[in-house]
Amino acid sequence: MENWQRAFILHTRSYTETSLLVDLFVENIGKVKVLAKGAKRKSSALKGMLQPFTPLIVQYSGQGEIKTLRQVEAMSLALPLVSVFLYSAFYLNELLHRVLVAEAELPTLFDDYLKSLKQLAQQVPAENVLRAFELSLLENLGYHVDFFHCCVTGDDIVKSMYYQYQSEKGFISSLLQNSISFTGEQVLALGKRQFDNIDTLKAAKRFTRMALKPYVGSKPFKSRELFLKI
């Protein structure tokens, strides 16, 4: 890989006394694991750059699972994230780190991630940003659910009716009201990614938790513990 690529840091961990293993989210490539040699040395120029939420351009090489980081430059300072907006950004990183398969290209996800970070830096309501990104992630993963039609009859979703969510299939009209029930208004809000009130926002969170569970498993998110401290 000779060309410079835009990237963000998803996760780092120690590899040796002086080096780091770094999971990058690389534009047009996806998740890439690289060895940053000497990055832990006090004199290393890498030390200050290999931080989350800093827009980077990188060069790396190698054919195996772990590439070698050759060069890295910061395109700008880290995005100014504080409080709940910072914790939300950590959640996005943890979500991507857990879900992405190595070097699996997802067409629009890098731009969606960058857009979400910018929105959080601008202090757009965090819950709205997270739900919209989760839906984008599901779409990129091939999880295509029709939020505008009943998955059985093909009829238009009606705001005043109730629908049962069937995993990876869609929504079917029903008189039942339980943990997998949604109003038509909530379903349409999911399709439009417009959560204009608490009701539709809570419904979106309930839906994305269900839809993402096969990808993320049951292990608790460390980033969610940060929200409990607020």
The per-residue pLDDT string of the chain (230 residues; one tens digit each, 9 = 90 and over) reads 458 999 999 999 998 889 999 999 999 999 999 999 988 888 787 877 899 999 999 999 988 899 999 999 999 888 999 999 999 999 999 999 999 988 888 889 999 999 999 999 999 999 999 999 999 999 999 888 999 999 999 999 999 999 999 988 899 999 989 999 999 999 999 999 999 999 999 999 999 999 999 888 777 787 777 665 55
Residues 6 or more apart in contact with residue 52 via CB below 8 angstroms: 8, 9, 10, 78, 89, 90, 93
Residue 22: the pLDDT is 95
Given a contact cutoff of 8 angstroms between Cβ atoms, the answer to whether 156 and 149 are in contact is yes
Q: Which residue, among 219, 224, 9, has the nearest Cα to 126 in the 3D structure?
A: 224
> What's the CA gap between 151 and 191, in Å, rounded?
14
Residue 78: the pLDDT is 87
Residue 106: the pLDDT is 86
Residue 23: the pLDDT is 96
> What's the CA gap between 53 and 74, in Å, rounded?
11
Long-range contacts of 85-90 (CB under 8 A, 24+ apart): 85/120, 85/121, 85/123, 85/126, 86/120, 87/223, 87/226, 87/227, 87/230, 88/120, 88/126, 88/129, 88/130, 89/52, 89/53, 89/116, 89/117, 89/120, 90/52, 90/223, 90/226
pTM, rounded to two decimals: 0.90
In the block, residue with structure tokens 């997998």: 180
φ/ψ bin of 168: left (φ > 0), alpha (ψ from -120 to 50), beta (otherwise): left
Residue 1: the pLDDT is 47
> What's the CA gap between 52 and 80, in Å, rounded?
11
**DSSP code for 193:** T
